[in-house]
C-alpha cells in the first residue's frame, strides 16, 4: 500500500533539510523526507575538524569522480558529496559565505524574478543565527548558527598583515555589500560543534508527527501521471517502495543527483535518455548541462615555527591535549574550519568585483583529506570565483545506484586559465611580504623551479582540484530560456507538482562557498511551495 503525504522531499542536504523543516512547521501538512544516507550519528560529523575524517569515509560520504579532465592533465578529480542526514553540510569545511550581491542581481538580470540580492537577503537572514546578533546583513535568531570568531592563530594574523602590506585591505564583513579584502572566515559552528543543516533544521523538527524522515532510502524514480508528479519510488533496506505526494515532490538531491534523478525519471535531453534506454517522459534539454564548479590550486609554505596543525598531528601529547581541550571546553585546534583566513580580490583592475578567493589554513597535505605533511607548513589556496568553463552530467546507465558521468571541463577557457595563474602569483606576492617572513621558509609547492606563467599554469593543471562547489545542473531561468530546467519559483518547466531546490538551480555559481546560498534557496523554496508572499526585500547598501 503506498504511503500518502502532501509533500515528498528527496535528499536531506543543505537545501532539503531547510525545505522539509519549514514545510512541516504547519501541523496538518504531511511531509516525507527521503535520504539515501544514514542518521548523522558518526561523532566526527560534529567535531569541526572532523571533515578531515568524514569527507572520504563511505559511511558518511559518496565519492564521485569526474571523467579524465582534458585541461587538467587528463586527471580524474574526486568529488565527495555528503551521504548522511545533513548531506554535504555534514562533511563540509564549515565556511559561511554568501557570495557577492552582484551574483544574485545577475540571476535577476537573467530573468529570475524575485532573486535579486535585496530579495534573497531576508532569506539569508531568516536562516541565520549569527553569534553577534542581528544587523543589516546578519540574522540573529535563525537555526543556522554562525560564529564570527572561528579558531585564530598568530600565523593567520601574520597572513592578514601580509595581505595588507600587499595592498589588500581588511574587510570588516565579507558577507556585506562590498566584500573585497581579507579577513577571518565566519563559520557554521556553535559552542564548538558543527552546525549542519540537519543540526539546524531537522533536530528541532524531529518530534513533529507530520514529518517522516526515511534514511537509507534511495529515490530511484519520480512517479508521473501524465504531466504531473504524484510520488516517488525508492529503495530502502533491499525493498522497492513507493510514496505518494498529494501536492508536490521537491527534489533536493544536490547538483549531481538531482539531475540524475530527473533523467532516471525520463525528464531530460530526449536523445541522451534514449541512448541509455530510458523512456522519455518530458524532453528537457537543460537537465545535467551548465555544470559549474570552483577549481582550486594550492601553494604550501614551510613554517620555521612549530605552530601549525602539522606539528600538532605529529606529536602524540599535543594531539591528546587538543582532543582533551575539545572534549572539555569545545574549543582549541579541533574547531578549525577548512580555511581560517580568506581574501576576495580582483586579478584585473577593470573587474567590478573580486574574481578570486583564497583559503588559508595552518596545515598542509599532499591532497585534501590526505595525511598532513610531517613538517611544519601552511597552505594558501586560490580559486576562481566565476569560471567561464561549463561541464555536463550524464547518466552512465539506467541504474539509480550508478555514478553519473561527470565532465567538469575545468580550465576550458583562456580567462579561466589566466585567472588561476594570476591568483597563484598573488599568493606569492603576499607570501613574500615582511609580516610573513618570520613564519615562512621555503616554498614547498609549487617550489622555486616554477617561475614563468607557463610553468605556473602547468602546475595548476597538474595539481588543481575541486573546492567542492558543483552547481548549476538544473538551472533556473524563465520559460524563454530553452536550457532552463526550473522557473523562478523552482517548478520544473512543463510539468506540474515537481520542483528542484538545491545547488543545482543556481544559474551561475555564486562567488563564494555554496552552503549558505543553498540553504537560502531551501528557505525561499519553502515559502514559494506554501504559496506565501515573499519576505519584503531589504536594502543592505
Ligand atoms: C568536502 C566538502 C567541503 C565543502 N566545504 C564547504 C564550506 O566550507 N563552505 C560552504 O559553503 N560549502 C562547502 N561545501 C559545499 C556545500 O556543502 C554544498 O554546496 C552544499 O551542501 C550543497 O547542498 P545541496 O542541498 O545542494 O546538496 P547536498 O547537501 O549534497 O545534499 C544532497 C542530499 O541528497 C541525498 N540524495 C542524493 N540523491 C538521493 C536520492 N536519489 N534519494 C535520496 N537521497 C538522495 C544525498 O545523500 C545528500 O544527503 C563543501 C562540500 C564538500 C563536499
Alpha carbons 436 and 157: distance in angstroms, whole number: 9
Across-strand partners of 406?
66, 393
Angle formed at CA 440 by CA 300 and CA 450, multiple of 5 degrees? 45
Ligand 1 pocket, mutate which of 515, 517, 521, 524 (most atoms under 8 A from CB): 515
CB of 257 closer than 6 angstroms to any ligand 1 atom: yes
Q: For position 367, what pLDDT does the model report?
A: 83
CB of 37 closer than 6 angstroms to any ligand 1 atom: yes
Digits of tens for pLDDT over the chain (541 positions)? 458 999 999 999 999 999 999 999 999 999 999 999 999 999 999 999 999 999 999 999 999 999 999 999 999 999 999 999 999 999 999 999 999 999 999 999 999 999 999 999 999 999 999 999 999 999 999 999 999 977 889 999 999 999 999 999 999 999 988 899 999 999 999 999 999 999 999 999 999 999 999 999 999 999 999 999 999 999 999 999 999 999 999 999 999 999 999 999 999 999 999 999 999 999 999 999 999 999 999 999 999 999 999 999 999 999 999 999 999 999 999 999 999 999 999 999 999 999 999 999 999 998 888 899 999 999 999 999 999 999 999 999 999 999 999 999 999 999 999 999 999 999 999 999 999 999 999 999 999 999 999 999 999 999 999 999 999 999 999 999 999 999 999 999 999 999 999 999 999 999 999 999 999 999 999 999 999 999 999 986 5
Q: For position 166, what pLDDT does the model report?
A: 98
User: Which cell goes with 25?
Assistant: 512547521
User: Which cell goes with 68?
Assistant: 579524465
Alpha carbons 137 and 130: distance in angstroms, whole number: 10
Ligand 1 pocket, mutate which of 51, 61, 92 (most atoms under 8 A from CB): 92
CB–CB of 279/266 below 8 Å? yes
Residues in the chain: 541
**Surface-to-core class of residue 279, CB atoms within 10 Å of its CB (0-12 exposed, 13-18 middle, 19+ buried):** exposed
Q: For position 369, what pLDDT does the model report?
A: 82
CB–CB of 279/237 below 8 Å? no
Name the DSSP class of 269: -
User: Which cell goes with 387?
Assistant: 569560471
Ligand 1 pocket, mutate which of 468, 500, 505 (most atoms under 8 A from CB): 468
CB–CB of 49/228 below 8 Å? no
Chain centroid to Cα 440, Å, comes to: 31
User: Which cell goes with 436?
Assistant: 610573513
Q: Which residues are catalytic?
A: 469
CB of 514 closer than 6 angstroms to any ligand 1 atom: yes
Q: For position 79, what pLDDT does the model report?
A: 98
CB–CB of 128/173 below 8 Å? no
Alpha carbons 307 and 155: distance in angstroms, whole number: 8
What pTM did the predictor assign?
Answer: 0.98
Q: For position 541, what pLDDT does the model report?
A: 58
Place of cell 564570527: 148
Centre of ligand 1 to C-alpha 515, Å, is: 8
Alpha carbons 254 and 540: distance in angstroms, whole number: 29
Quick one: which of 7, 37, 18, 28 has its CA closest to 231? 7
Centre of ligand 1 to C-alpha 446, Å, is: 30
Q: DSSP assignment of 309-331, as one string? A: HHHHHH-HHHHHHHHHHHHHHS-
Q: Whose CA is nearest to atom 9 of ligand 1?
A: 95
Pairing between β-strand 295-302 and β-strand 341-345 as defined by DSSP bridges: unpaired
Q: For position 366, what pLDDT does the model report?
A: 87
CB of 50 closer than 6 angstroms to any ligand 1 atom: no
CB of 243 closer than 6 angstroms to any ligand 1 atom: no
**Surface-to-core class of residue 87, CB atoms within 10 Å of its CB (0-12 exposed, 13-18 middle, 19+ buried):** buried
Amino acid at each position: 500500500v503506498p504511503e500518502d503525504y502532501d509533500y515528498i522531499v528527496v535528499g536531506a542536504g543543505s537545501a532539503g533539510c531547510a525545505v522539509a523543516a519549514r514545510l512541516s512547521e504547519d501541523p496538518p501538512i504531511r511531509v516525507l523526507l527521503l535520504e539515501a544516507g544514514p542518521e548523522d550519528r558518526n561523532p566526527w560529523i560534529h567535531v569541526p575538524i572532523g571533515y578531515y575524517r568524514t569527507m572520504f569515509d563511505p559511511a558518511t560520504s559518496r565519492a564521485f569522480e569526474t571523467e579524465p579532465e582534458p585541461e587538467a592533465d587528463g586527471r580524474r578529480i574526486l568529488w565527495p558529496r555528503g551521504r548522511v542526514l545533513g548531506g554535504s553540510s555534514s562533511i563540509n569545511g564549515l565556511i559561511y559565505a554568501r557570495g557577492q550581491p552582484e551574483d544574485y542581481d545577475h540571476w535577476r538580470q537573467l530573468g529570475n524574478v524575485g532573486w535579486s540580492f535585496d530579495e534573497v537577503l531576508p532569506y539569508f537572514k531568516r536562516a541565520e543565527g549569527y553569534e553577534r546578533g542581528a544587523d543589516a546583513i546578519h540574522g540573529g535568531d535563525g537555526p543556522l548558527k554562525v560564529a564570527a570568531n572561528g579558531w585564530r592563530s598568530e600565523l593567520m594574523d601574520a597572513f592578514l598583515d601580509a595581505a595588507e602590506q600587499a595592498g589588500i585591505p581588511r574587510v570588516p564583513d565579507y558577507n556585506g555589500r562590498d566584500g573585497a579584502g581579507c579577513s577571518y572566515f565566519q563559520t557554521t559552528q556553535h559552542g564548538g560543534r558543527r552546525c549542519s543543516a540537519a543540526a539546524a533544521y531537522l533536530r528541532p523538527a524531529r518530534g513533529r508527527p507530520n514529518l517522516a524522515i526515511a534514511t537509507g532510502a534511495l529515490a530511484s524514480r519520480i512517479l508521473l501521471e501524465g504531466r504531473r508528479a504524484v510520488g516517488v519510488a525508492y529503495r530502502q533496506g533491499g525493498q522497492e517502495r513507493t510514496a505518494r505526494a498529494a501536492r508536490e515532490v521537491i527534489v533536493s538531491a544536490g547538483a549531481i543527483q538531482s539531475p540524475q534523478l530527473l533523467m532516471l525519471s525520463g525528464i531530460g535531453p530526449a536523445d541522451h535518455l534514449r541512448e541509455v534506454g530510458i523512456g522519455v517522459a518530458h524532453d528537457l534539454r537543460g537537465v545535467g548541462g551548465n555544470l559549474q564548479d570552483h577549481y582550486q590550486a594550492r601553494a604550501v609554505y614551510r613554517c620555521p615555527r612549530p605552530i601549525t596543525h602539522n606539528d600538532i598531528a605529529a606529536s602524540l601529547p599535543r594531539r591528546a591535549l587538543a582532543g582533551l581541550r575539545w572534549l572539555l571546553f569545545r574549543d582549541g585546534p579541533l574547531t578549525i574550519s577548512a580555511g581560517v583566513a580568506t581574501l576576495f580580490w580582483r586579478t584585473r583592475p577593470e573587474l567590478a568585483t573580486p574574481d578570486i578567493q583564497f583559503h588559508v589554513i595552518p596545515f598542509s597535505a599532499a591532497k585534501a583529506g590526505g595525511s598532513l605533511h610531517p613538517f611544519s607548513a601552511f597552505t594558501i589556496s586560490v580559486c576562481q570565483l566565476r569560471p567561464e568553463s561549463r561541464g555536463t552530467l550524464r547518466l552512465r546507465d539506467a541504474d539509480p545506484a550508478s555514478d553519473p558521468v561527470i565532465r567538469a571541463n575545468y580550465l576550458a577557457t583562456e580567462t579561466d586559465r589566466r585567472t588561476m595563474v594570476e591568483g597563484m602569483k598573488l599568493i606569492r606576492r603576499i607570501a613574500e611580504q615582511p609580516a610573513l617572513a618570520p613564519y615562512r621558509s621555503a616554498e614547498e609547492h609549487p617550489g622555486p623551479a616554477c617561475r614563468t606563467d607557463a610553468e605556473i599554469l602547468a602546475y595548476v593543471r597538474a595539481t588543481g582540484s575541486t573546492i567542492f562547489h558543483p552547481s548549476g545542473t538544473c538551472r533556473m531561468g524563465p520559460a524563454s530560456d530553452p536550457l532552463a530546467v526550473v522557473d523562478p519559483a523552482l517548478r520544473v518547466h512543463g510539468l506540474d507538482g515537481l520542483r528542484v531546490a538545491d545547488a543545482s538551480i543556481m544559474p551561475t555559481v555564486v562567488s563564494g562557498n555554496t552552503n549558505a546560498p543553498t540553504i537560502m534557496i531551501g528557505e525561499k523554496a519553502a515559502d514559494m511551495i506554501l504559496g506565501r508572499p515573499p519576505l519584503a526585500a531589504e536594502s543592505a547598501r
